[in-house]
Structure 1
């Protein structure tokens, strides 16, 4: 009889005791008799009575929501974009989130706040700005606007990433034409600068030649010319080759004797 009572006791205890494990990146929220306990459960094994208690596990790690959303631009165009929202739940706020919002907080809170913020921010920019270096400013502005509404609710928006931008076809062609015209202008500017440098080089070379000739002309005095003529006579006199020299006494003129025959 006693063994049977022992078995019954073990079965009763088993029915009245449950066990769950709160893993890393999770926060446990205890609901007992319909009431939420304000203190969250951290990582580890947890025993509870399954008849009156439920342990709800809330992810506290970084989560990613992929959204394809239309972005209205300042000039009234609609730009399509694939957007990633990286967010996480603050662990201490998990009981409050479960109690006031529930586990469908992405659809109930985060996505509506995102759609409102992205519409507000994108309408301040032209469509071409979303496809340029101002994309980072747009992402930062959306995140900051979302945080003003989600911070006190226990959510942290880490990043908003515009992963792809699809512009209207006409605008895409206009942007491509503008970029091509800018590249042509830059190429022409390079050619003009090269020609300007070449003209400057030629001017400097001409000035150098002019200055050199001026120096030479200033140095050719009559005495120097007579001295050079005497040097030439001396060299001709000591030369072994036969030659005919015609001179006016100042400058020699040498002729080939064979040319006189």
Structure 2
């Protein structure tokens, strides 16, 4: 009887031990995963055994697989991302200018281990790039007067791009594009610019009106020339004989009219009206 109880106790102990082991395995096993567009830095966080540290990399989307080790993953976004910095900077003429500067940076494929161990994991921009980028922008902008900034924005962006690429040349980071956002001047300058534009527009209108007036004057001159020329031609052709012929024709038309009641008194030769010349 004692031997039977001993076997039962041994069986129960084995079941309990197996349950504890299964519970431990269930809570200890991990399966790190990485989403698309990311790379994962897989590392071990040992509890009872294992050496810890870097275990491998994942290129998403993928899973590392189940393991009894306490494996975890740091996922780093490898896609191009836009980082925006806002500035209030004194230009070369000591005028305070505000604007945004945008930089697009991606991480080179397969570089997740270097990013995590050398550049601060997913905080790499704040730790390694941000302040240097801002310094490059300030240096480039302060080379110009405030009125030149909008016209020189492409040159400024190229200057910053060149310096930032050189700075990140031996790193996992790839500069895709640098762009200057809207440039905002102080209110007093904005008002002055608006007044200048309004004055330029008014000047343009005046120039247009002047051109129209000049054209109108030219038209009137040409019309006067035409009238003078016509009068010159008419005066040259109005001879006494021509006027007498016109008078006779007018009398004939009136005589043929059924309502004609005018009486003509001949005063010239053969009843022809006299026409006195002016020359």
Q: TM-score, normalised by structure 1?
A: 0.75
* Residue equivalent to 2:133: 114
* Residue equivalent to 2:106: 88
* Residue equivalent to 1:23: 35
Deviation at 1:169, TM superposition (A): 4.8
Relative distance call for 1:251 and 1:171 in structure 2 (3 A) is same
Deviation at 1:8, TM superposition (A): 4.6
| RMSD across aligned positions (CA) | 3.4
SS for the counterpart of 2:111 is helix
Q: Deviations over 1:70-128 (max 9, x none)?
A: 32322233323344444333333332222221222112222123212211221232212
> How many positions carry a matched residue from both structures?
251
* Residue equivalent to 2:143: 124
Conserved? CA contact 1:36–1:95, under 8 Å? no
Q: TM-score, normalised by structure 2?
A: 0.71
2:94 corresponds to 1:76: yes
Q: C-alpha distance in 1, partners of 2:35/2:254?
A: 111
Deviation at 1:66, TM superposition (A): 3.8
Q: C-alpha distance in 2, partners of 1:61/1:17?
A: 30
2:204 corresponds to 1:186: yes
SS for the counterpart of 1:28 is strand
Conserved? CA contact 1:71–1:118, under 8 Å? no
Q: Which moved more, 1:224-233 or 1:95-104?
A: 224-233
Higher strand share: 1
Deviation at 1:58, TM superposition (A): 0.3
Q: Which stretches in structure 2 are left out of the alignment for 5+ residues?
A: 1-10, 45-51
Considering only CA atoms, is the larger Rg found in Structure 1 or Structure 2?
A: 2
Q: Which stretches in structure 1 are left out of the alignment for 5+ residues?
A: 254-261
* Residue equivalent to 1:45: 63
